[in-house]
Homo-oligomer: A and B are copies of this chain.
Amino acid sequence: MAGKQYLMTPGPTPVPPQVLAALAEPIVHHRGPDFRPIYERCLERLRAVYQTASDVLLLAASGTGGMESVVANLCRPGDRVLVVSAGRFAERWAEIAETWGCTVERLAYEWGSNPVPEDLPDALERMGGARIVFLTHSETSTGAVADVRELAAAAKATGALVAVDAISSLGAVPLETDEWELDAVVSGSQKALMTPPGLAFVSVSAAAQAAALEQEARSFYFDWRRILKAQSKLDAAFTPAVSLVRAQEVALGLILDAGLEEAFERHRRLGRACREGAKALGLDLFSPDDDSSAVVTAVRMPDAYDSGELVRALRDRFGITIANGQGELKGRIFRIGHIGYYDVFDVTTTLAAVEVALGDLGVPIERGGAVTRALEAYEDAMRV
């Protein structure tokens, strides 16, 4: 028989059965009365998860499409922009901004570390100010979660717009769009929002809307004005991915029914459990070993061993999918996602399998303690 499959990557992530069932409902027309209430609730729930009173745009695109929409609507050729970079996905901001003609400066940190908000004012002063500062909330390539609140405050103090990649973080760790004065926050359906990939979301502050209005549209498909205008009438500029929107509406309902605080607390505890379990195996963490690392746990593969072999062994022997490192980290780290539809037993399952597979590969590890340690850490981390 086909074995059970366990999806433990940083995305796409598993989807609750209620959400899968919603996907299988008959297609409805996007301008008809069957879709409008779904669409309206989905947009409303997105604003709740974003903690914003502004518009959240809903796009048929991968998360990267949402990022491109930010650059296409807020950047003009020659604009100086700053990318705060400590991983692969921050570099994506830089690549997109360069593609659209920006002059990109970086405030760069070693991959796996966290940007230091206090460095931002100097960096901005050295470059003579930036039109936009691009941030990455959860750097999925390393497991580090940046202090977006403080980074944004430092950037806003200079008058820059702030754009945030919150693709893997929104709904997993606290992010307060309005309170933190974030101008454009990009997310996607396929991480903590527990829906298949294919939808991107972008919140746009009043300042971001004003900035977009000041310039000519540079993209048609990602033209915020067109999308905002349509959404204001509960219409869509282009045929929306109606099945995914329906599924997303259900998933957001599940999150909000339990409460955002439940989600943040659970992710924090899952991160703690995963880190403590990995350490109990005798492994070193690559992600920062603190409660901010609540989305993805990146673990160093012991020297002389290839993390790709572990990834393959887990997949082939146990049907468990985790992720290798990316770029220069390929083979050197492995990444366990604990995002969205996860509980502590997903973490213990993964740790148990990692323990067996590393043993099989002849990697020297501590046997027998990881699962128990993870469970203990999960309980200990509960806020009383």
| Contact partners of A14 in chain B: CB under 8 A | 26-27
Select A198's contact among B12, B223, B243, beta carbons within 8 Å: B243
Cβ A241 vs Cβ B244 within 8 A = yes
Query: Which interface residue of A26, A32, A221 has the most chain B CB atoms within 10 A?
Result: A221
Contacts A61-B60, A197-B60, A221-B62 known; A239 to B11 CB distance under 8 Å?
A: yes
A315 at the interface (CB under 8 A from B): yes
A99 to nearest B CB, angstroms? 5
| Contact partners of A30 in chain B: CB under 8 A | 12, 197
From A212-220, A252-260, A374-382, the one touching the partner chain is A212-220
A109 at the interface (CB under 8 A from B): no
Closest to A312 in B: B33
| Contact partners of A67 in chain B: CB under 8 A | 221
- Encoded as 1 (CB less than 8 Å from any B CB) or 0, chain A from 180 to 207 comes to 0000000010100000111000000000
Cβ A23 vs Cβ B26 within 8 A = no
Cβ A62 vs Cβ B197 within 8 A = no
Cβ B26 vs Cβ A243 within 8 A = no
Query: Which interface residue of A13, A15, A29 has the most chain B CB atoms within 10 A?
Result: A29
Closest to A191 in B: B239
Cβ A95 vs Cβ B197 within 8 A = no
A38 at the interface (CB under 8 A from B): no
Q: A34 CA to B92 CA in the complex, in Å?
A: 27
A249 at the interface (CB under 8 A from B): no
Cβ A28 vs Cβ B11 within 8 A = no
Cβ B68 vs Cβ A219 within 8 A = yes
Chain multiplicity (copies): 2
Cβ B196 vs Cβ A27 within 8 A = yes
A7 at the interface (CB under 8 A from B): yes
Dominant secondary structure at the A interface: loop
A238 at the interface (CB under 8 A from B): yes
- Encoded as 1 (CB less than 8 Å from any B CB) or 0, chain A from 77 to 120 comes to 00000000000000010011001100000000000000000000
Closest to A167 in B: B239
| Contact partners of A33 in chain B: CB under 8 A | 315
Cβ B243 vs Cβ A196 within 8 A = yes
Cβ A240 vs Cβ B62 within 8 A = yes
A283 at the interface (CB under 8 A from B): no
A9 at the interface (CB under 8 A from B): yes
Interface residues of A in 17-45 (CB under 8 A from B): 20-21, 23-30, 32-34
Select A242's contact among B12, B25, B96, B241, beta carbons within 8 Å: B12
Known: A23-B24, A219-B219, A243-B244. 7 other contacts (CB 8 A): A12-B29, A12-B30, A15-B27, A20-B25, A20-B26, A60-B198, A64-B221
- List chain A positions with a Cβ less than 8 A from chain B: 5, 7, 9, 11-15, 20-21, 23-30, 32-34, 60-65, 67-68, 71, 92, 95-96, 99-100, 188, 190, 196-198, 217-221, 223, 238-244, 315, 321
What 7 A-B pairs come out closest when comparing CB atoms?
A198-B241, A24-B24, A196-B243, A62-B238, A23-B23, A68-B221, A96-B220
